[in-house]
Amino acid sequence: MQESVIYQDIWEEALEKGLQQGLQQGLQQGATEGEKTLIVRLLNRRLGSLPETVIGQINQLPLPALEELGEALLDFSEIDDLLGWLERHQPE
């Protein structure tokens, strides 16, 4: 009987940890998706409609690179500026 109580405690602790990890991952994924959406919108406004291939490259960037792009785009005046930046920052 006591083994059942111990097992239940272990199960509940593992479940809680799993839920916390899942929530954290979901929040991070949501933040990354929001960052991508905002950057694409800002780039579309600054440079005109972006080709789907360029949007695909942006969607492949990790969060730190997206944050860098969010700052760098303020200096872009044409799409070649963006293309050069993406060429230098594509994930390996």
Mean pLDDT (whole number) for 17-24: 78
Q: Which residue has the tokens 């490259």?
A: 57
- pTM of the prediction? 0.72
pLDDT surpassing 60 at residue 32: yes
Rounded-to-integer distance, Cα 78 and Cα 66, Å: 18
Reported as a single tens digit per residue, the pLDDT across 35-91 is 999 999 999 999 999 999 999 999 999 999 999 999 999 999 999 999 999 999 987
Q: For the packed helices 52-59 and 2-47, what is the interaxial angle rounded to 10 degrees?
A: 140
pLDDT surpassing 60 at residue 1: no
Rounded-to-integer distance, Cα 92 and Cα 90, Å: 6
Residue 2's pLDDT band, with cuts at 50, 70 and 90, is low
Q: What is the pLDDT of residue 55?
A: 97
